[in-house]
Chain A
């Protein structure tokens, strides 16, 4: 998967301008309230905000799954969305799950399977290609989900709390995997997370979202040398926005 055999185009800027969205009919509930956001090409940008503030909905808008009521969205090309958890198809083997991204990108089945096998080997999952997801650990499933996203060959990855359900050790391991993938593929990444430390460890910038209906209340460049100061800045921004007390 990484570098070899997968021609991932270089990332593009993501530009979101004054995006508004209300969901439901009776009455419509505002979810996004004038969201402005710029994620630079090749950078990893974390979105941190309180639960239920609309972060996942924003990713759905960026992925084209939901049309906004107002505002403009420019992802500069196709994006690959990785939902919360692993979201592997339980009825597919690991190989078929991983190759799904390539098959949806139009790669012939035989070639997609070969790419999946290569990805499985590089992610340390050799021997598990024919296993179903339920027989694998959380970390193994998460690696497979990341591989599926990468094999889609999209220049932009939208990662929706990808490691939220993992234990601390496995999460650290997945951070390592994602950093490697990022170094090799050079995608633009938008990472939704609740974990400031994770954002600092993986991303170049952090944007802070306020409570629902969501707006961006702060935007800061990550200083990996000062993680405690970064955490305090994020908490201050959330406190000012009324997201926490």
Chain B
């Protein structure tokens, strides 16, 4: 067969990298804004001089955090462990539920409403019951999973049911069975949306772990905030809260990294256009 060579070349990697690179001004602004907020906080504590157990200054928080670093590290490991295990469970169970709900009308009717109901009930109200039913670690884990599974299920169901009709037609039109189409077309097509749900879950799972630790544990940053707030060690409480934020940020970053590694084909599609 004699056809002309392709006229258009693929997008040059160098060009795409140049477009993605942040300008120095953008980096400076991204760093300066939070620093400005911290500076304002520091100035406010100088000007209004609140009692330290009500509102410590950033400097006092940093100092208290450094002095309590071993205690913070001990509790942070526990919270991080709960968050990571809870996120893995939420992804595994949530993805399986999403697949079942999207594929089976019965599962849609029988399971989906309960997934929604589970989010209507405040977790704080459920926590004492879970503590009665499970050992502390399991109870906290259940809370973390309950808090984070919802976005995974909803995003997964939306992704699986919202597959581009032409992709499904292309596969079925070449003789693919329905099962093949589900596993080789709908599932990979749903992955970007599923990851959106997982990114939300990575943040919610930390909240779930903290709720559990507040109610049912002597370990973890949630428990530490309860103890230190009760003893007016407010600066340590702040330091624990900062650490919680960092754990959430790290989990979110890990999910984004996993998405970039496992879905390289989404990079250009999701890039902002000018």
Contacts and interface: CB of A to CB of B under 8 A. Distances in A.
A81 interface: yes
A44 B121 CA distance: 62
B173 A124 contact: no
Interface residues of A, number: 51
Given A85-B166, A122-B3, A128 B172 contact: no
Interface string A94-132: 000000110011000000000000000011110010011
Residue of B166, B188, B189 with most chain A CB atoms under a 10 A cut-off = B166
Interface string B237-274: 00000000000000000000000000111101100000
Interface in B171-186: 171-176, 180, 185
B37 interface: no
Interface stretch (A17-25, A31-39, A172-180): A172-180
A135 B269 contact: no
Nearest to A170: B7
Given A132-B264, A136-B10, A104 B4 contact: no
B166 A84 contact: yes
B6 A81 contact: no
A152 B174 contact: yes
A125 B6 contact: yes
Given A2-B1, A81-B169, A181-B1, A140 B174 contact: no
Contacts of B6: 124-125, 128, 137, 139-140, 143
B171 to A, nearest CB: 8
A83 interface: yes
Contact of A137 (B7, B167, B170, B173): B7
Contacts of A134: 265, 268-269
Interface in A60-86: 60, 63, 65, 78-85
11 contacts: A60-B169, A65-B173, A83-B166, A89-B167, A89-B170, A90-B269, A133-B265, A139-B7, A152-B175, A180-B2, A181-B1
Interface of B: 1-8, 10-11, 164, 166-167, 169-176, 180, 185, 188-189, 191, 263-266, 268-269
Interface of A: 1-3, 60, 63, 65, 78-85, 87-91, 100-101, 104-105, 122-125, 128, 131-137, 139-140, 143, 145, 148-149, 152, 154, 158, 170, 173, 176-177, 180-181, 184
